[in-house]
Amino acid sequence: MPLRPARCYKDLNKPPYTRKEYIDGIPQPKITKFVMGNTEGNFDVAVELISLEYAQVRHNALEAGRVMANKYLSKYVGEDKYLLIIRQYPHHVLRENKMMAFAGADRLQDGMRQAFGKPIGTAARLRPGSAIAEVRVPKEAIPQAKEALRRLKDKLGVKTRVVIRELK
């Protein structure tokens, strides 16, 4: 069987766990900026990364993809000639029942008894057809925008497609 990236948290097999007012100790999402580039620019096209499946994407995967796409766009398109928008926010809180892994740990663990788990991070829940990210560029920079979104997609582990939309 080929290795599936992010398979521990990718599937939507549990209901959303999002009520942050009742949950203590949620780590902050690693993704810091959701809009990068020239926010006042006048762009011709929007190139969108669209999800093709139900999935969860962890906050650190979104941040890694954002960094890669932003770095590529600023190098090959120019600092003020694009607008990169991350369209998903990680609301869903991920839990893990941490187990000890050292000699003698069997006397300290409780196994699966009351195994609700502690918050370890957050994830964005995707549906087919939902936009993950968007790059707005002039028409001559469409190939660079597609390459930037391909690099972002490689960090997520989700089946996607790229859609080009004209801006009026």
> 3 in a domain, yes or no?
no
Each residue's pLDDT, cut to its tens digit, for the chain (168 residues) gives 455 555 677 878 888 888 888 888 888 889 989 999 999 999 999 999 999 999 999 999 999 999 999 999 999 999 899 999 999 999 999 988 888 777 766 666 777 887 788 898 999 999 999 999 999 999 999 999 999 999 999 999 899 999 999 998
In a domain, 14, yes or no: no
User: Domain for residue 40, yes or no?
Assistant: yes
Alpha helices (runs of H) in the chain, residue ranges in sequence order: 7-10, 59-76, 142-156
CATH number, domain containing residue 130: 3.90.1170.10
| 65 within some domain | yes
Model pTM?
Answer: 0.85
- What is the Cα–Cα distance from 162 to 134, expressed in whole angstroms? 10
Structural domain count, the chain: 1
DSSP 8-state assignment for residue 124: E
With respect to residue 67, please indicate whether it lies within any of the assigned structural domains: yes
10 in a domain, yes or no? no
Residue 107, SS3?
Answer: helix
> Is there a domain that residue 109 lies in?
no
**Residue 88 included in any domain:** yes
Both tokens assigned to 136:
């707005």
| pLDDT at res. 14 | 81
Q: Give the pLDDT of residue 2.
A: 55
Crossing angle for the helix pair 59-76 and 142-156, to the nearest 10 degrees = 160
Cβ atoms within 10 Å, residue 120: 15
pLDDT recorded at residue 3: 53
Which residue range is the domain that position 42 belongs to? Answer: 31-93+118-168
